[in-house]
Structure 1
Amino acid sequence: MVYILGGWQSDFSANWSRRGWGLADAFGEAVAQGLAATDLAPSDIETGHVGNFAGELFAGQGLLGGFFGLVHPKLDGLPTMRHEAACASGSCAVLAAAAEIEAGRYGLSCVVGIEQMRNVPGQTAAEHLGAAAWTGHEFQDARFLWPAAFSDLAEVYDQRFGLAYEHLMAISAQNFANARRNPNAQTRDWRFPPEAFTADDVANPVVEGRTRKQDCGQVTDGTAVLFLASPERARSYADARGVPVESLPRIKGWGHRSAPIPLDRKLATSREASSEGGHVFPQVRRAIDDARARAGIAHLSDIHAVETHDCFAITQYMAIDHLGLTAPGQAWKAIEAGDTAMGGRLPINPSGGLIGAGHPVGATGVRMALDAFKQVTATAGDYQVAGARNVQTLNIGGSTTTTVSLVIGT
């Protein structure tokens, strides 16, 4: 059993280059602020894990675990590791830290998710992010690789089930609206005219294929930090603060699956495997089910909110049916019924998600887990889901090459 003691998230609207910051500055702020938020001391940390996708490409910097030693002298000598799984890097860092605790190696771990992405031109950023596809083998003609890739996913949904663009735009509009309640969201102060959520080529221009501007998650500088603890350390932490250890959230279940890197291979597999119930990405479905099974959750009604990977609106559309809220291809029914909105049957991305809150790639999985922690401790403020006791995360890397799902609850 692994407990979550708390954490901290940076303001995702910040542009670090304009501040004169590099990765080390942001890393130091995250750890220091996280320690303050959880009332922990540097000497309490026994191991450190970093989720980061492309520090070498965006900032020319690898070996990010070495930044722990810059934060405080007590962290000089700390055992550290860095984890890369594209957009699922942060979740893989959480999994690795949890595994160390479960193995009895350490009692308290600091997990940092971090990415700097706004220090290069947009075209360069798109090229860097393309490293999560099969380089030299897919989407070589696309100017913006990932908008092209997820345009293909939208095309598959349209061919197999039918797809109306208005339902994708309902997802984007909802996530931007949720983000306005999140004080750390990148887009909290953004406002759009109604035509921005239509197929208007001026207000919502095409980026690649079927993908338009408002379909896309954000390019973001950001950090998130999380502190994980063994039952023994969690009990001592709770006792020192006069609270029952049962009130501390824990990682109740996890799922982790990988698939072949090319998108067309994944789509061909799901087309041929009728035994999978018709889901477009069988491994995504398996990761979700694995997390719930390990958490002992048999019914969707026992999940009270979801933080999911809306790198594009179609990704959240896919997540809705893979989460089991609808049958495959029928996510539109949940959207039209308001099931995924705040106050709905299963609120999705109360934080604003990647479209509204922002998407610093290596930090996203850690941020999702932190938002789940906030929800189940009723500390999410204006974006709190009333009565949330179990929150599921769904974090994907590449074209669902890596999928990680967590169930976090009390």
Structure 2
Amino acid sequence: MVYVLGGWQSDFAANWDRQGMEIADAFAVTLREGMDAAKLDASEIETGHVGNFVAELFARQGLLGGFFGQVDPAFDGLPTSRHEAACASGSIAILAAAAEIEAGRYGLAAVIGLEQMRNVPGQQAAEHLGAAAWTGHEFSEARYVWPRAFSDLADEYDRRYGLDYKHLMGISEINFGNAKRNPNAQSRAWAFTPESFTANDDANPVVEGRTRKMDCGQVTDGTAVVFLASAERAAEYAAKRGLSLEDLPRISGWGHRSAPISQSTKMRASAGEDYVFPQVRRAVLEARARAGVELDGIDAVETHDCFTVTEYMAIDHLGLTAPGEAWKAVEDGTIAMGGRCPVNPSGGLIGLGHPVGATGVRMVLDAAKQVTGTAGDYQVEGAQRMQTLNIGGSTTTTVSFVVERGA
């Protein structure tokens, strides 16, 4: 059993380059702030993991695990590693740390996810992020690879089931609205008009294909850290602080599946199937099975919404609606705050921001906040169990966690 002792998230509205910060500075701030928030000393941490996608391209920096030793002398000698799975890099880092704990190698792990993305022009950032596609084989004619890839997904949904753009904009409006309650959201102070959430070419211009500005997750600098512990170490941690083990959140289930890197290969393989991305569905169900819960036991979800259609896909793959009927959950309020299963109370990638390597870690941190009633203004009332869904590339790598409170 793996417990979450706490963590910390940076302000996703920050631009590190403008603040004179390097990626190493952000790493150090995150680790120190995280330890302070969790009331941990550096000497207590036994292993370190980093989730990051393309620091070599944006920051010309690799070997990120080496930054632990720069933060505190107590980390000199700490076993560390870095994990990459595009937008799922942070979740893969959590899986690796959890596996070490479950194997009995270590009792307490620090997992940091981070990405610097706002220090280069937008076109260059898009090219860097395109490294998660099948380079030279898909989308080579697109100016913006991922808006094009998920435009193609919208096309696929339209062919199979029909798709009304107003439902994608319903998702966008919910997530931007949720973000206004999140003090770390990149878009918390942004202003919109009713036309922003329409197919108005001036208020919501086309980016690529069917993808418009308000469909897109935000390019963001950001970090998040969580501290994971074995049941034994978590019990010690709780006792020292006058808590019980039941007071601490835990990761009770996980699902991890990968599919071919080619998006067109995935779509061809699922032709005639119920779900566009069967491996996403498998990861979702396997996380719940390991946690011993069904959908009705999930109180809210933090899901991958790099684009509105990604969340549209996630809604039916999570089982909130039948395949192709995600629009019903938008229209009936299921996914809104106060709904049957709120989705992205944090604001998600669209409203909060998407520092690629940090997203999976941030999702688990937000899930832990929700089940302990510490999410502040974006708290889901009565949340006891959360599910995350983190996707890398065109659903090439999918990771889902169930996070709940209580032993």
1:400 aligns with 2:395: yes
TM-superposed CA distance for 1:300, in Å, is 1.3
Question: In structure 2, what is the equivalent of residue 245 of structure 1?
Answer: 245
Supply the distance in 1 between the matched residues of 2:3 and 2:341 (Cα, whole angstroms): 24
| Paired-residue identity, % | 72
Structure 2 counterpart SS, 1:326: coil
**CA deviation vs aligned residue, 1:143-188 (integer Å, no higher than 9, x gap):** 0000000000000000100000000000001000000000000000
TM-score (norm 2): 0.99
Structure 1 alignment gaps of length 5 or more: none
1:10 aligns with 2:7: no
Q: RMSD across aligned C-alpha pairs, in angstroms?
A: 0.5
Supply the distance in 1 between the matched residues of 2:211 and 2:53 (Cα, whole angstroms): 23
**CA deviation vs aligned residue, 1:339-370 (integer Å, no higher than 9, x gap):** 00000000000000000000000000000000
Q: Which amino acid aligns with 2:398?
A: T
Question: In structure 2, what is the equivalent of residue 228 of structure 1?
Answer: 228
Question: In structure 2, what is the equivalent of residue 52 of structure 1?
Answer: 52
Supply the distance in 2 between the matched residues of 1:86 and 1:328 (Cα, whole angstroms): 26
Supply the distance in 1 between the matched residues of 2:225 and 2:155 (Cα, whole angstroms): 37
Q: Which amino acid aligns with 2:140?
A: Q
Question: In structure 1, what is the equivalent of residue 323 of structure 2?
Answer: 328
Question: In structure 2, what is the equivalent of residue 281 of structure 1?
Answer: 277
Question: In structure 2, what is the equivalent of residue 292 of structure 1?
Answer: 288
TM-superposed CA distance for 1:332, in Å, is 0.5
1:83 aligns with 2:80: no
Question: In structure 1, what is the equivalent of residue 68 of structure 2?
Answer: 68
1:376 aligns with 2:376: no
TM-score (norm 1): 0.98
Question: In structure 2, what is the equivalent of residue 104 of structure 1?
Answer: 104
**CA deviation vs aligned residue, 1:195-218 (integer Å, no higher than 9, x gap):** 011000111000000000000000
Supply the distance in 2 between the matched residues of 1:211 and 1:73 (Cα, whole angstroms): 48
Structure 2 alignment gaps of length 5 or more: none
Supply the distance in 1 between the matched residues of 2:386 and 2:328 (Cα, whole angstroms): 22
Structure 2 counterpart SS, 1:366: helix
**CA deviation vs aligned residue, 1:354-395 (integer Å, no higher than 9, x gap):** 000000000000000000000000000000001101000000
1:303 aligns with 2:321: no
**CA deviation vs aligned residue, 1:19-42 (integer Å, no higher than 9, x gap):** 111110000000000000000000
Determine which of 336, 345, 351 is the counterpart of 1:350. 345
Q: Which amino acid aligns with 2:284?
A: I
Supply the distance in 2 between the matched residues of 1:6 and 1:252 (Cα, whole angstroms): 16
TM-superposed CA distance for 1:85, in Å, is 0.1
TM-superposed CA distance for 1:246, in Å, is 1.3
Q: Which amino acid aligns with 1:291?
A: A
Structure 2 counterpart SS, 1:341: coil
**CA deviation vs aligned residue, 1:212-238 (integer Å, no higher than 9, x gap):** 000000000000000000011000000
TM-superposed CA distance for 1:301, in Å, is 1.4
Question: In structure 2, what is the equivalent of residue 255 of structure 1?
Answer: 255
- The list of structure 1 runs, each at least 4 consecutive aligned residues, that deviate by more than 4 angstroms after superposition, is none
1:107-118 paired onto structure 2 within 5 Å:
107-118=107-118
